[in-house]
Structure 1
Amino acid sequence: MAWMAWTLPTAIFFTVIALLLITFTVLAIRFPETPRVGILRIETTRGDRLFITLLGSAFINLAWLGTMSAPQWGALIVCLIYATAVFRWV
């Protein structure tokens, strides 16, 4: 696997994703949730909202890289605001 850039940020990224999946699995087992309808007018659960958040965050980061010359930390802040909105209203 020498062809991959296993840097500290890469390791942190995959660790955070793994911890999110474990956390949401434990939450689903301990606190079952009924789907709710938000502003998208579709039924979503915690896992659905996590998927929407991760997908949207990927697009936010790609757009940030393509259009901004500012550090990537700014995209992280935008992604956190986006995640808060998704879990609150979707």
Structure 2
Amino acid sequence: MKRVIVDYKKLNRHVLDLLVEKYPDGYDDRDIVTYRNADNEIVECIEVRTEDTAYLVKVSKRLVMAMEDHEESDNDSDEETSLDTDGLETSEEE
């Protein structure tokens, strides 16, 4: 399975939809996956999966705000918005 590590700033609409669907009331400590990056820094993420990809989305206060804003915008309008997906970090692990 392909694993993709992504910051909330780089989320595309599809992944944001999956996050809001999986965590409609937000996430808590038991949902957080922790690992050390190449610089030996602790990184906290939440995971959401598709059939072929596991997305690890870096946790931050701004992620919570983005999920809330996304959910509100879905309720307000059916307009498509494009989020920047350049710069996604990917790593192939099985």
Query: TM-score, normalized by length of structure 1?
Result: 0.30
Richer in helix (by share) = 1
Query: TM-score, normalized by length of structure 2?
Result: 0.30
Richer in strand (by share) = 2
Q: Which has the larger radius of gyration?
A: 1
Relative contact order (C-alpha < 8 Å, sep 6+): which is higher? 2
